[in-house]
Amino acid sequence: MATVSLKTRVYKNRHAYYFILPTLLGMLLIHFVPMVQAVYMSFLGLNQNTIGLYLAAPFVGFEHYKDILFNPDSLIRISGLSEAARNTFIYTIVVTFGTIFVGLIVALMLNRKFKGVAVFRTLFILSWVVPQYVTGLLWNFMWQRDVGIVNYILVNVTGLLNEKPFWLIGPNTLWAIIIPTIWRGWPFNMIMLLAGLQNIPETYYDAAKIDGASTLQQFRYITWPLLKPVWAILIFFGLIFNVYSFNIVYMMFGLGAGYPGEWGDLLMTNIFRATFSAWRYGAGAAACVILMILMITIVLIWDRIFQDEITVQK
């Protein structure tokens, strides 16, 4: 078969290209241009003293990258960045797999036929409908030590604890961020996993029951493998969304003016303060570029691992 040239293929599909051209131009304007500008800013000594020069600020080359990666004692290094990276790693792993775990449990429950299942499906989605800003404010009140409902339930109602702990200060801070994020995010995973469960043919389970497979064996050898295209995508989106989490922390700790401390600070809130509160635009841009490169690497690794699951078979 003769190979069709690129020019011929483009001409043949020219009407499709005409339709996607506005979207392509918009993507270039919204994503590519700011990204290039951020990379360029990371090579500049752009701070409170040179902000008036903007892109004409003094060129410092890779100084910001060297300080962030190799010089923790540098005075121009972003303060608390390593602690924020540690917190973000823990936060991302726990939230990503926590939302999948909770979503899967509820999806398995709702995949059964019982009276009122549609009502329960609707009710379980409500926390996902709540905006992230509202989630941050809501849980800020709930975590209050003396008047918060969480401590009231743990101490006064259930008696699980003898005294009321601090949630917004100290080592518990990260859990005070993780739990609301899982609370808000698991319904989306539940919907996706429930859709995957309903696409698994019932005949597979019937055959497994005839062979004497237990419920656990059915889940291990039928449900979980056939759900792999779904949970692989959920891991992909979870890693990206959670690494860049910002809104819940921003609202929970005083609209960004409050500092969650070394136990609760995330990369996005840390870089945000360094960039817009301390006027460290060049260093903030460099930190964002490093994070972008890291996420691209993770995406490439994920694509390599799950390539067969996301490839459409023709």
Residue 148 lies in a domain: yes
Say if CB 296 and CB 114 are below 8 A apart.
no
Question: How sure is the predictor about 76, in pLDDT bands with cuts at 50, 70 and 90?
Answer: low
Tokens 């059964």 label which residue?
112
Instruction: Kindly state whether residue 261 falls inside one of the protein's structural domains.
Output: yes
List the beta bridge partners of residue 59.
44
For the chain, the first-to-last Cα distance in angstroms comes to 19
Domain that holds residue 268: 78-279
Retrieve residue 3's tokens: 């190979």
In 3D, which of 283, 259, 255 has the Cα closest to residue 271?
283
Total domains present in the chain: 1
Using alpha carbons only, what angle is made at residue 123 by residues 245 and 120, rounded to the nearest 5 degrees? 130
Q: What pLDDT, on the 0 to 100 scale, is given for residue 313?
A: 46
Task: Give residue 121's pLDDT.
Answer: 85
What dihedral angle (degrees, nearest 10) is formed by the CA atoms of 219, 220, 221, 227?
70
Give buried/exposed letters for 10-37 (b at 16+ CB in 10 A, else e).
Answer: eeeeeeeeeeeeeeeeeeeeeeeeeeee
Say what percent of the chain tops pLDDT 90: 60
- Mean pLDDT across 168-186: 94
What is the arithmetic mean of pLDDT over 185-213? 93
The letter for the amino acid at 112 is R
Q: Identify whether the C-beta of residue 136 lies closer than 8 Å to the C-beta of residue 180.
A: yes
Segment 96-111 shows an average pLDDT of 95
Query: Is residue 314 over pLDDT 50?
Result: no
In degrees and rounded to multiples of 5, residue 213 shows phi and psi of: -75, 135
User: Residues 227-265: pLDDT tens digits?
Assistant: 999 999 999 999 999 999 998 998 888 655 457 888 889
Q: Is residue 48 part of a domain?
A: no
Q: Do 287 and 271 contact (CB within 8 A), yes or no?
A: yes
Q: For position 165, what pLDDT does the model report?
A: 93
Express each pLDDT in 145-176 by its tens digit.
999 999 999 999 999 989 999 999 888 999 99
Q: Is the pLDDT of residue 75 over 80?
A: no
pLDDT surpassing 80 at residue 3? no
Residue 78, pLDDT score: 73
Given this model, what pLDDT does residue 5 score? 81
- The values of phi and psi at residue 44, to 5°, are -110, 150
Residue 43 vs residue 8, higher pLDDT: 43
Percent of the chain past pLDDT 70, that is, above it, reads 94
- Decide if 96 is inside a domain: yes
Instruction: State pLDDT tens for residues 111-123.
Output: 988 888 888 888 8
Classify residue 84: in a domain, yes or no: yes
Average pLDDT of the chain, as a whole number: 89
- Look at residue 74 and tell me whether its pLDDT is greater than 80: no
Is residue 269 a part of any domain in this protein? yes
The two three-digit tokens of residue 291, written as one number? 């994070």
What's the rounded Cα separation, in Å, for the pair 151 and 157?
Answer: 9
CATH number at residue 166: 1.10.3720.10
Whether 223 shows a pLDDT value over 90: the answer reads yes
In a domain, 250, yes or no: yes
Asked if residue 59 belongs to a domain, the reply is no
* pTM score, whole prediction: 0.88
